[in-house]
Every structure is written in structure tokens, then in C-alpha cells.
Amino acid sequence: DVKVTQSSRYLVKRTGEKVFLECVQDMDHENMFWYRQDPGLGLRLIYFSYDVKMKEKGDIPEGYSVSREKKERFSLILESASTNQTSMYLCASSTGIGTGELFFGEGSRLTVL
Amino acid sequence: QKEVEQDPGPLSVPEGAIVSLNCTYSNSAFQYFMWYRQYSRKGPELLMYTYSSGNKEDGRFTAQVDKSSKYISLFIRDSQPSDSATYLCASDTGRRALTFGSGTRLQVQP
């Protein structure tokens, strides 16, 4: 059974803290994605990666960075968390950019106080 | 203007009703159209996938794409309480990551 695992389901952090959100997939997929989901705004793409050590900015990359040192792992980093980054963060993987089925993790709910 | 627009609902229907969920999109380069279903506190899962215009049927679900009007629809026949979820439409040109609508929350009342 395919699986995308996000390390933390719920996190509470303080403004200015550095936050790491980890995502691991076991399907040997080339492509991995980070989205955030907010009420009324849907899923918005933060960053994606189509190969190890490769990354591309999505629609809302400001305030975020990513790391992909291994094929199965894609990390989202908030260098200095702010309250407007309180959101649900969803990691996904796929075999194709834009055309392949996205497999999502269960999400990480981040609250920044 | 968002590239994919979707009415957020909520949409509440009685069990057995036919449900129509709709999206519009603005980018005429979009070729791939998908519907994802997201249950509460879960990640989205692919429900239907179509390429270009036309209809696709899978059991009680029918996806319809009209590229001339840039309109995407999902029909659910004989709706069940287990269909209660948020439905997200998504599109892409095939060269970049998916663009999602904001999602429509559906509640099917038993």
C-alpha cells in the first residue's frame, strides 16, 4: 500500500522559531510537493522537487525553504515562523509532474503563536 | 483571479440525491483535470482523472469537462452519507504541479 508519511500531525510553535516539517514516501516517486491548505483558499503550492537536490518554487514560496537530500524524503523549513504561517501543510508525491496521481500525506497542522 | 474557481459550499443534500459539483478555470493551456476527495483530518485522494474534453464514468461518479466554456463538473448519483467530504477540482498543463480549486464541502444527510 502506497504511503506518504508526515512526521508530525500537530505542532505548536512560537513566532520566530525555526520549524522543520518532514515527509517520507515509500513509493520510489521522483516528484514531491509541499502544499498548504487554508479555508477558502484551497491548496496552494509552496515548493516542489522533481529530483534529489532539485527544487522549484511554487506559488507561495516566501518564508519557506525545502531540502531533498534523499529521494524518499522532502523537508519543508520555516526559517522564522510567523503567525500567518499557521495552516495545514500537506506533502504529496507522484511519478509525473502535473499528470501523475498525487499521493498525499495526512497533513501537519501547524499553529504559530 | 484564481486559475481554478470553486464554490466552497457547504452543500447539503439528502441521501439518494444527485449531486453536481462544479469548477471553472481560466488557463486555456490546462489539459488534465482531476477530482480529489478529502475526508475530515485526512489528505486528499484522487477520485477521477480526465484528459481534455468529454465525460468519464466510474460507478456512481461522472466527471465532465467542457473546454469551450472552461467548465469542470463532477456528478454523484445515489449519494450516500459516506460521500460526505470536501471535493477538490484540480488542473494542469502537464508541465507543472497541479493547481487546485478551494474545495466544496458536501454533506449527505441520512
The set of residues, in sequence order, having a beta carbon less than 8 Å from that of B64 and lying 6+ positions away, is B54, B55, B56, B72, B73, B74, B75
Judged by CB atoms closer than 8 Å, whether chains meet at B92 and A101 is answered as no
Write out chain A's pLDDT in tens, 113 residues.
669 999 899 999 999 999 999 999 999 999 999 999 998 888 999 999 988 988 999 999 999 999 999 999 999 999 999 999 999 999 999 986 656 789 999 999 999 99
Is A97 in CB contact (< 8 Å) with chain B?
A: yes
pLDDT at B106 over 90: yes
Q: What is the 3-state secondary structure (H, E, C) of A7-64?
A: CCCEEEECCCCCEEECEEECCCCCEEEEEEEECCCEEEEEEEECCCCCCEECCCCCCC
Which of A40, A44, A99 is facing B8, going by the closest CB pair? A40
Cell numbers for A66: 525545502
Which of A39, A43, A98 is facing B100, going by the closest CB pair? A43
Beta bridge partners of A13: A112
**Side-chain half-sphere CA neighbours of A63 within 13 A:** 14
Q: What is the per-residue pLDDT across B37-54, written as a single tens digit (0 to 9) for each?
A: 999 999 999 999 888 888
Assign B7 to helix, strand or coil: coil
Best mutation target among B100, B104, B105 (most A Cβ atoms within 10 Å) is: B100
Give the whole-angstrom CA distance, residue A106 versus residue A58. 20
Judged by CB atoms closer than 8 Å, whether chains meet at B88 and A33 is answered as no
